[in-house]
Structure 1
Amino acid sequence: MLFSNPFALKKLGILGMNKRNIHYIGAQNNRKYYPFVDNKLKTKVIAQSAGIAVPKLLATVERQSQLRNLKDILVGLDKFVVKPAQGSGGKGILVITQREGDIFIKPSGQRLELKDVHRDISNILSGLYSLGGKPDVAMIEKLVEFDPIFDRYSYEGVPDIRVIIYKGYPAMAMLRCSTKESDGKANLHQGAVGVGINMASGKALFAVQHGDPVTKH
Structure 2
Amino acid sequence: MQLPWRLARSLRRAGVLGMNQRNGDFISRVNPRRLYPLVDDKVRSKTLAQQAGIQVPELYGVIRIQHEVPELPKLLGGREDFVVKPVNGSGGNGVLVIVGRRKGRYRKASGALLTEEALEHHISNTLSGLYSLGGQPDAAMIEYRVKVDPVFEPISHQGVPDLRTVVYKGYPVMAMVRLPTAMSDGKANLHQGAIGAGIDIASGLTARGVWRNEVVDEHVDTGNPIANVQVPQWDTLLELAARCYDISGLGYLGVDFVLDREFGPMMLEMNARPGLNIQIANQSGLLPRLATVDTLGRDDASVAERVAFAREHFARSGSNSVDAPTSAP
TM-score by length of 1: 0.93
Aligned residues of 1:80 and 1:96 also touching (Cα < 8 A)? yes
Tell me which amino acid in the other structure corresponds to 1:176.
R
**Alignment-derived partner of residue 133 in structure 1:** 135
CA–CA separation in structure 2 for the residues paired with 1:178 and 1:58: 24
**Alignment-derived partner of residue 172 in structure 1:** 174
Tell me which amino acid in the other structure corresponds to 1:157.
G
Aligned residues of 1:71 and 1:114 also touching (Cα < 8 A)? no
Question: Alignment length, in residue pairs?
Answer: 217
Shift of 1:211: 4.3
Give deviations 1:96-142, integer Å, cap 9, x for gaps: 11123522111111111111110110000001111111100000010
CA–CA separation in structure 2 for the residues paired with 1:63 and 1:108: 29
Aligned residues of 1:90 and 1:189 also touching (Cα < 8 A)? no
Tell me which amino acid in the other structure corresponds to 1:185.
K
| Aligned pair partner of 1:84 in 72, 83, 86 | 86
Tell me which amino acid in the other structure corresponds to 2:190.
L
Residue correspondence of structure 1 range 98-117 to structure 2 within 5 A:
98-100=100-102, 102-117=104-119
Shift of 1:39: 1.4
Aligned residues of 2:60 and 2:75 also touching (Cα < 8 A)? no
Stretches of structure 2 that go unaligned for 5 or more consecutive residues are: 220-329
CA RMSD of aligned residues (A): 1.9
CA–CA separation in structure 2 for the residues paired with 1:103 and 1:74: 14
By relative contact order (CA 8 Å, sep 6+), the higher-ranking structure is: 2
Give deviations 1:173-206, integer Å, cap 9, x for gaps: 1010011111111111221111112223333333
**Alignment-derived partner of residue 206 in structure 2:** 204
Tell me which amino acid in the other structure corresponds to 2:178.
R
CA–CA separation in structure 2 for the residues paired with 1:33 and 1:193: 31
CA–CA separation in structure 2 for the residues paired with 1:147 and 1:11: 38
Shift of 1:215: 3.4
TM-score by length of 2: 0.62
**Alignment-derived partner of residue 35 in structure 2:** 33
CA–CA separation in structure 2 for the residues paired with 1:46 and 1:91: 23
CA–CA separation in structure 2 for the residues paired with 1:204 and 1:71: 40
2:48 alignment partner, SS class:
helix
2:67 alignment partner, SS class:
helix
| Percent pairwise identity | 49
Shift of 1:18: 1.7
**Alignment-derived partner of residue 53 in structure 1:** 55
Query: Are 1:192 and 2:194 matched, yes or no?
Result: yes
CA–CA separation in structure 2 for the residues paired with 1:199 and 1:93: 29
CA–CA separation in structure 2 for the residues paired with 1:32 and 1:160: 27
Query: Are 1:93 and 2:85 matched, yes or no?
Result: no
CA–CA separation in structure 1 for the residues paired with 2:79 and 2:191: 28
**Alignment-derived partner of residue 183 in structure 2:** 181
CA–CA separation in structure 2 for the residues paired with 1:8 and 1:129: 36
Aligned residues of 1:107 and 1:157 also touching (Cα < 8 A)? yes
Shift of 1:61: 0.2
**Alignment-derived partner of residue 146 in structure 2:** 144
Tell me which amino acid in the other structure corresponds to 1:121.
I
1:97 alignment partner, SS class:
strand
CA–CA separation in structure 1 for the residues paired with 2:169 and 2:134: 30
2:134 alignment partner, SS class:
helix
CA–CA separation in structure 2 for the residues paired with 1:205 and 1:14: 18
CA–CA separation in structure 1 for the residues paired with 2:20 and 2:55: 32
Give deviations 1:35-61, integer Å, cap 9, x for gaps: 111111111111111111111100110
2:15 alignment partner, SS class:
coil
**Alignment-derived partner of residue 120 in structure 2:** 118
Deviates more, 1:88-97 or 1:204-213: 204-213
Tell me which amino acid in the other structure corresponds to 1:214.
V
